Amino acid sequence: MSDTTLPTFRTATEEAPLLRAALIGIAVAGLAVLVFAPLAVVFAEALKDGWLAAVESLGNRDARSAIHLTLLITAIAVPANAAFGIAAAWFITKFDFRGKAFLITLIDLPFSVSPVVAGLCIVLLFGANSALGGWLIAHGWPIVFAIPGIVLATIFVTFPFVARELIPVMIEQGRAEEEAALTLGASGWRTFWTVTLPNIRWALLYGTLLCTARAMGEFGAVAVVSGKIRGQTATMPITIEMLYNEYLSVAAFSMAALLTALALVTLCLKTLLELRHADQLAAIRRH
């Protein structure tokens, strides 16, 4: 800072140019190293031997099975968690009851428990050595080393995403609009569809997208419960690990690139929706 510069006025929250440049620099550098570089590497490695090799590696039976399995698990886990999340958030924010704080902690539990531990719990509970697991297997409903176990593990790990997004929004909005709808003669069901849901739809969308991305990418818990049976219980992340361990790097990175692309698609969807409904969003947000 030299004395020769003219005094310029800036608002109270504005920082000095040097500091601003430094902060922006740090943010950009962080993004570059932690986000863009890995993304670029994944795609570069996948396409190392050309498009054909990459696409071919995704075309074999095991790879197709893994993709199919991951999409199936996601298609079950995400709607289930969206429904659970809405129900839990509704229950917590619209009613007063004892043990509310405890319930909120319980919802957060999957965030604090290691996914591997969660997977082990499912194995202990539903495995062949437990009474429940034995009974289920005897009746033709194996949970562990089968799709139900993977679904359970995925639901457990991604459980908090939707509820966590919804609870603060619903607390902030209070109950007055729902009460207004009821006094106007609307049923509870109609109130939910016409008042509650539209008010939380952006938080719900955001929570669902996070949940989707996490559900597709879940590794630790699924690795424990799936048994990693190629072509049967190996999801995309599991397949990536197995291929990588077998030094099949093009195949591993092609699968990784596809998984990344799926996540990017969900992000693009969100941005698109936000653009399309920009006017509504602006109207809903408080000034």
> Per-residue contact track with other proteins, 119 to 138, x per CB under 8 A?
--------------------
Contact between 156 and 84 under an 8 Å Cβ cutoff? The reply is no
User: Which of 1, 12, 185, 245 forms a contact with other proteins (CB under 8 A)?
Assistant: 185
Write the binding mask 13 to 52 for other proteins: x where contact by CB under 8 A, - elsewhere.
----------------------------------------
Q: Which is nearer to other proteins, 130 or 199 (CB)?
A: 199
Instruction: Please report how close the Cβ of residue 84 comes to other proteins at its closest, in angstroms.
Output: 24
Q: For the residues of 140-194, what is the DSSP string, one character each? A: T---TTSHHHHHHHHHHHHTHHHHHHHHHHHHHH-SHHHHHHHHTT--HHHHIII
- Choose one: 9-17, 43-51, 59-67, 187-195; the region binding other proteins (CB under 8 A): 187-195
Cβ within 8 Å of residue 166, ≥6 positions away = 85, 86, 89, 93, 200, 203, 204, 207
Span from 7-15, 18-26, 223-231, 279-287 in contact with other proteins (CB under 8 A): 279-287
Stretch that binds other proteins, among 149-157, 164-172, 183-191, 232-240 (CB under 8 A): 183-191
**Cβ contact 243:252 at 8 Å:** yes
Instruction: Tell whether residue 181 is a contact of other proteins (CB under 8 A).
Output: yes
Residue 241, classed as helix, strand or coil, is helix
Is residue 1 packed enough to be buried (19+ CB in 10 Å), middle (13-18) or exposed (0-12)? exposed
| Candidate residues 24, 32, 116, 184; the one interacting with other proteins per rule CB under 8 A | 184
- What size, in residues, is the chain? 287
Tokens of 175: 């109950």
Q: What residues make contact with other proteins under the rule CB under 8 A? A: 176-177, 179-187, 190, 194-195, 198-199, 280, 283-287
